[in-house]
């Protein structure tokens, strides 16, 4: 007990005289305040533990410096190992997160592309069917020597809609990235495709509804001008055709508007958020 008290008094006296050595080495080997405090405490503990090995012929300052330096070097190596392990764990977590992000982005992008492809196929088939029917009606009128120019124009307008959709689908297929492409490149392509589809949804009146509406309008004009029925029957047929077309087109326009302002806009926002995550 008396020995411990004597050692404590001796160490306290030495630190009062040479404590700057401990503080200086703490600042040199530890840059963070918490780490400096930890290293400082470790040096004091090692000084206390090493005090019985002190030789009386040695200088106190030299002994304190040697013990604290060895403690600082040991502490620094341990700190570097902890940092390396933490960095390795962070890299592994970041890599795993990146892999999950790649699979998620690719899966959702391909689901979106399949939905767009199905829509284009459906709309193209419908426009081609309308073009075929109106062309067939025009051919019947032409074969019978009756005016057929309205039917040919109607068929051409419907065919133009189908051609537009097919060309747009071909453009989309050419922009598809191969498997294994960087996730940033896939995100950029998916965002560009989403914005293009948003433009198509918002402009559906001009590239879809107006041409097909004009196509139906030409058939209505043909009925009004060249149908052999009485004028009131022709007017009734034309009114019914225009009414049904108007109802269908308003419903289609509202559906496209909801798709553009709802699901598609949310999809683009999610992709842009993913792009910010990848950039970070």
pLDDT for 114: 80
Same structural domain for residues 130 and 88?
Answer: no
User: Is 116 in the same domain as 67?
Assistant: no
- Shared-domain flag, residues 166 and 273: yes
Q: Same structural domain for residues 113 and 160?
A: yes
One domain, residues 172 and 228: yes
Q: Are both 109 and 86 inside the same structural domain? A: no
User: For residue 200, what pLDDT band results from cuts at 50, 70 and 90?
Assistant: confident
For residue 259, the model assigns a pLDDT of: 62
- What's the total number of domains in the chain? 2
Same-domain pairing of 139 and 226 = yes
At residue 10, does pLDDT exceed 80? no
Tens digit of pLDDT for each residue in 245-276?
Answer: 888 878 777 776 676 666 777 778 887 887 77
Lowest mean pLDDT among 23-27, 87-91, 204-208: 87-91
- Kindly report the CATH number assigned to the domain that includes residue 23: 1.10.1740.10
**Whether residues 129 and 221 fall in one domain:** yes
My answer on whether 111 and 217 are in the same domain is yes
Domain boundary among 25, 59, 92: 92
Last residue of a domain, one of 41, 61, 92: 92
Q: Given a cut of 80, is residue 157 above it in pLDDT?
A: yes
What pLDDT does 5 receive?
63
Q: How far apart are CA 98 and CA 104, in angstroms?
A: 10
Residues 17 and 60 grouped into a single domain: yes
User: Would you say 120 and 165 are in contact if contact means Cβ atoms under 8 Å apart?
Assistant: yes
Range of the domain at 61: 2-92
Across the range 132-147, mean pLDDT stands at: 91
Indicate the residue among 75, 92, 109 that finishes a domain.
92
| pTM of the predicted model as reported, rounded to 2 decimal places | 0.56
Q: Are residues 83 and 106 in the same domain?
A: no
The share of the chain scoring above pLDDT 90, in percent, equals: 8
Same-domain check for residues 84 and 120? no
235 compared with 3, residue with greater pLDDT: 235
């Amino acid at each position: 007990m008396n020995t411990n008290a004597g050692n404590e008094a001796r160490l306290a006296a030495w630190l009062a005289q040479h404590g700057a050595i401990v503080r200086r080495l703490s600042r040199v080997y530890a840059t963070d305040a918490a780490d400096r405090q930890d290293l400082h405490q470790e040096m004091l503990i090692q000084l206390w533990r090493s005090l019985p090995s002190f030789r009386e012929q040695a200088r106190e300052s030299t002994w304190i410096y040697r013990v604290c330096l060895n403690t600082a070097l040991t502490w620094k190596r341990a700190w570097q190992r902890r940092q390396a392990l933490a960095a390795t764990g962070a890299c592994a977590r970041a890599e795993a997160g990146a892999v999950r992000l790649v699979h998620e982005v690719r899966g959702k992008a391909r689901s979106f592309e399949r939905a767009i492809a199905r829509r284009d196929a459906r709309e193209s088939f419908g426009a081609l069917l309308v073009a075929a029917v109106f062309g067939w009606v025009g051919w019947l009128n032409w074969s019978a020597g009756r005016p057929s120019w309205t039917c040919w124009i109607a068929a051409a307008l419907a065919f133009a809609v189908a051609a537009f959709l097919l060309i747009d689908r071909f453009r989309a297929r050419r922009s598809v990235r191969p498997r294994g492409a960087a996730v940033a490149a896939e995100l950029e392509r998916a965002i560009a495709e989403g914005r293009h589809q948003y433009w198509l949804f918002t402009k559906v009146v001009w590239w879809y509804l107006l041409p097909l509406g004009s196509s139906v309008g030409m058939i209505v004009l043909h009925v009004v001008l060249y149908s052999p029925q009485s004028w009131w029957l022709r007017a009734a047929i034309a009114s019914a055709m225009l009414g049904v077309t108007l109802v269908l087109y308003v419903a289609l326009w509202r559906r496209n508007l909801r798709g553009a302002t709802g699901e598609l806009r949310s999809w683009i926002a999610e992709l842009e958020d993913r792009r910010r995550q990848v950039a970070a």
